[in-house]
A and B are shown apart, each in its own frame.
Chain A
């Protein structure tokens, strides 16, 4: 690997970080807009950019849509006073928001977001094509809890402390359910042909050509989705920052861009989480599932289209992603917050047992399925050289 290669990788990584940060910024805008629509308000519609907003029709329209609002928010964060209150533990106080943001930006490195073809061979568009894929995502994204715990502890204040403690217990509880709910998926994705076993998300996506796993494994998908809400501290599960009990939760003492980092990190986690859900259960960049009866091109109609096909696959992927971000926001402004003991009960007494039952059930179903396929593919009777007739099917079943 020479220097040009590495430089190129740095540029790609930077671009991807920029895209995700921009998406995070605009998810905030989407959140505010959708919230106001749900509540019968208008939402941000005043921020104007001096030059661009005086374009006759387009300018005012963009202003009405609030397109410049994230920009203004960012600038406001940047030029606000950046206070470090006297009573906090200074080092950890500054460190915590960084720890919170970093995992969100690191996990995206193993996310495949599209497909390209080299000599008819499909390759994933991904920054690092490493075979630990989903394990890496689980491992790194769980580091995000440190940002919240350290932030809450370093603030040296009562309510942030409670917020941090609650948040850590909540996040580790749901991580368990999340980890268990993806086991059936991996079980299904690693087919019976030997030597293919790996944990890349690309492998999972290609295994979904016939049927998206959300249809085939709706219960694990649901468990994963609920855990995702809890992991990102989104609304029905945002006990760590429930205003009515804990002032502002773990970031009560934060201001300026330090608070901004927490904010961006939450949305970046949301985007990454939606991406993982899309890849695991919604067929990634594939257009439609074939259900085993439609022709194969339905899943990847752009297989022969060169780079245009790659762009289309990325767009399909981003489309599914945006659907999920809107879903996240929709849920937030629809459901009330759960009480803390309800959250813990839901995690331990419902989601974990359900996920465990799913592992049992899908292990049996997949074993049965594989046996059926094996029996179908085996000739019923084989005449061995010495003239003896062996029924191989029975042989298989007794195994």
Chain B
């Protein structure tokens, strides 16, 4: 498919950015002006003075989830070309079922392994 069919995509991207910028500028332009005070410039924690660090520590689990996501998402991306030609290959009697099942098997083993290792345990 030629590049020209992607022109509407470019237009849409520019339009989306334009819309967002236009809305925010309009809001800035027409919005009321009010005097600031120190309460407005403080972090909101239900009206109490903010305590502790502004960016507190958070669980390492979030990193684990992010890394697992990258691993599995890449494997899903690998599967997309397969699903496109799967039936075509079957019709042409090319071996496609077992090789990909081997791939999926490794994926499954990986998922089971990280579950057994407790990589996805959130209780505690």
Interface residues of A (CB under 8 A from B): 1, 6, 9-10, 13-14, 17, 21, 77-83, 85-87, 94, 97-98, 101-103, 105-106, 108-110, 127-131, 135-136, 153, 155-159, 161-162, 165, 168-169, 172-173, 175-176, 179-180, 183-184, 186-187, 190-194, 196-199, 247, 252-253, 256-258, 260-261, 340-341, 344-345, 348-349, 352-353, 356, 359-360, 363-364, 366-367, 370-371, 374, 399
CB neighbours of A360 from chain B (8 A): 101, 104
Q: Once the chains bind, are A1 and B76 in contact (CB under 8 Å)?
A: no
Closest chain B residue to A142, Cβ basis: B73
Query: Would you list which residues of chain B between 97 and 115 have a CB under 8 Å from chain A?
Result: 97, 100-101, 104, 107-108, 111, 115
Q: Once the chains bind, are A175 and B58 in contact (CB under 8 Å)?
A: no
Q: Once the chains bind, are B9 and A341 in contact (CB under 8 Å)?
A: no
CB neighbours of A165 from chain B (8 A): 58, 62
Q: Once the chains bind, are B16 and A101 in contact (CB under 8 Å)?
A: yes
Q: Once the chains bind, are A105 and B86 in contact (CB under 8 Å)?
A: no
With A and B bound together, what is the CA distance between A165 and B50 in angstroms? 19
Query: Would you list which residues of chain B between 68 and 122 have a CB under 8 Å from chain A?
Result: 68-69, 72-73, 76-77, 79-80, 83-88, 90-93, 97, 100-101, 104, 107-108, 111, 115, 120, 122
Q: Once the chains bind, are A356 and B104 in contact (CB under 8 Å)?
A: yes
With A and B bound together, what is the CA distance between A78 and B83 in angstroms? 47
Q: Once the chains bind, are A79 and B15 in contact (CB under 8 Å)?
A: no
With A and B bound together, what is the CA distance between A190 and B61 in angstroms? 38
CB neighbours of A363 from chain B (8 A): 86, 97, 100-101
Q: Mark B4-17, 1 if CB is under 8 A from A, else 0.
A: 11111101110111
CB neighbours of B122 from chain A (8 A): 340-341, 344-345
Say whether, besides A128-B5, A128-B12, A82 and B66 are in contact (CB < 8 Å). Answer: no
Q: Once the chains bind, are B104 and A106 in contact (CB under 8 Å)?
A: no
> Nearest chain B CB to A15's CB is how many angstroms away?
11
* Interface residues on chain B, size class: 35 or more
Q: Once the chains bind, are A345 and B120 in contact (CB under 8 Å)?
A: yes
CB neighbours of A77 from chain B (8 A): 27
With A and B bound together, what is the CA distance between A199 and B85 in angstroms? 11
CB neighbours of A80 from chain B (8 A): 27, 31-32
Q: Which of A157, A190, A253, A256 contacts B87 (CB under 8 A)?
A: A190
Q: Once the chains bind, are B54 and A359 in contact (CB under 8 Å)?
A: no
Q: Which of B15, B50, B76 contacts A158 (CB under 8 A)?
A: B50
Closest chain B residue to A343, Cβ basis: B122
Q: Once the chains bind, are A183 and B83 in contact (CB under 8 Å)?
A: yes
Q: Which residue of B33, B44, B52 has the most chain A CB atoms within 10 A of its CB atom?
A: B44
Q: Once the chains bind, are A367 and B97 in contact (CB under 8 Å)?
A: yes
Q: Once the chains bind, are A179 and B76 in contact (CB under 8 Å)?
A: yes
Q: Which of B13, B88, B93 contacts A190 (CB under 8 A)?
A: B88
User: Is chain B's interface secondary structure helix, strand, loop, or mixed overall?
Assistant: helix
With A and B bound together, what is the CA distance between A106 and B14 in angstroms? 9
User: Is chain A's interface secondary structure helix, strand, loop, or mixed overall?
Assistant: helix
Q: Once the chains bind, are A135 and B80 in contact (CB under 8 Å)?
A: yes
Q: Once the chains bind, are B27 and A256 in contact (CB under 8 Å)?
A: yes
Q: Once the chains bind, are A87 and B11 in contact (CB under 8 Å)?
A: no
> Nearest chain A CB to B114's CB is how many angstroms away?
9
Q: Once the chains bind, are B8 and A190 in contact (CB under 8 Å)?
A: no
A–B pairs, 5, beta carbons within 8 Å: A98-B24, A106-B16, A157-B50, A169-B61, A348-B115
Q: Once the chains bind, are B104 and A190 in contact (CB under 8 Å)?
A: no
CB neighbours of B91 from chain A (8 A): 192-194, 370, 374
Q: Once the chains bind, are A252 and B44 in contact (CB under 8 Å)?
A: yes
Closest chain B residue to A258, Cβ basis: B24
CB neighbours of B65 from chain A (8 A): 169, 172-173, 344, 348
CB neighbours of B1 from chain A (8 A): 130-131
Say whether, besides A97-B20, A130-B1, A190 and B86 are in contact (CB < 8 Å). Answer: yes
Q: Once the chains bind, are A13 and B11 in contact (CB under 8 Å)?
A: yes
Name 4 extra pairs, CB < 8 A, besides A172-B66, A352-B111.
A6-B7, A10-B11, A183-B76, A340-B122
CB neighbours of A367 from chain B (8 A): 90, 97
Q: Which residue of B21, B90, B123 has the most chain A CB atoms within 10 A of its CB atom?
A: B90
Q: Once the chains bind, are A106 and B12 in contact (CB under 8 Å)?
A: yes
Q: Once the chains bind, are A352 and B86 in contact (CB under 8 Å)?
A: no
Q: Once the chains bind, are B44 and A253 in contact (CB under 8 Å)?
A: yes
